[in-house]
Amino acid sequence: WPAVAVVALTIHEDEEYFFQMLAAGASGYVPKRAAPEELITAVRAAAAGEVYLYPSLAKLLVRDYVAAGREGRAAAAPDTALTEREGEVLAYLAEGATNQDIADALHISPKTVARHRENIMRKLNLHSRTELVKYAIRKGIIRA
């Protein structure tokens, strides 16, 4: 089912759910309060291979992207600052994997995963899992 486009119709409009759905590969994100036409537009966009984000939620992406640019986060934290293993851990984390999932996949201990996560957050000047997901989307590590 990897070719199936998913449009999330949800009561949740906070950043955490929004970025988790994007990280999981959703092609659209529409709150239940949206007009029926918005849902139709989202489904059509997803069917055409495009991404649809409800305007007020799309503003979150733009706001955070602009803020990151102003803070110099993108320039101050080049991808080359990460080791190859940290890059692997970053990809798993951005997709929502737990430390145990990552440890099992990479054949390392969960404590080693936690240490890699700490190093990634420090090197990239990120302070939450949400920021990590947004970074991964901006850098194309995961698709929105």
Q: Edge-to-edge strand order for the sheet containing 7-10?
A: 7-10, 28-31, 52-53
Residue 36's pLDDT band, with cuts at 50, 70 and 90, is very high
Is residue 124 over pLDDT 70? Answer: yes
What domains lie within the chain, and their CATH numbers? 7-70 (3.40.50.2300), 73-138 (1.10.10.10)
The rounded distance, in Å, linking the Cα atoms of 67 and 97 is 27
Query: What's the pLDDT band for 104 if we cut at 50, 70, 90?
Result: very high
Return the top range by mean pLDDT from 8-12, 25-29, 52-56, 138-142.
8-12
pTM for the predicted model, two decimal places:
0.47
Indicate the helix (H) or strand (E) that contains 29: strand 28-31
* Alpha helices in 24-142, H assignment, sequence order: 36-47, 55-71, 73-76, 84-94, 99-106, 110-124, 129-138
Per-residue pLDDT tens over the stretch 38-91: 999 999 988 888 888 888 877 777 776 666 665 554 444 455 578 889 988 988
Question: Can you give the pLDDT at residue 105?
Answer: 93
Tokens 């890059």, located at residue: 87
Question: Mean pLDDT in the chain?
Answer: 81
Average pLDDT over residues 93-112: 90
The whole-number average pLDDT for the span 89-107 is 88
> What number is the average pLDDT over the span 90-97?
84
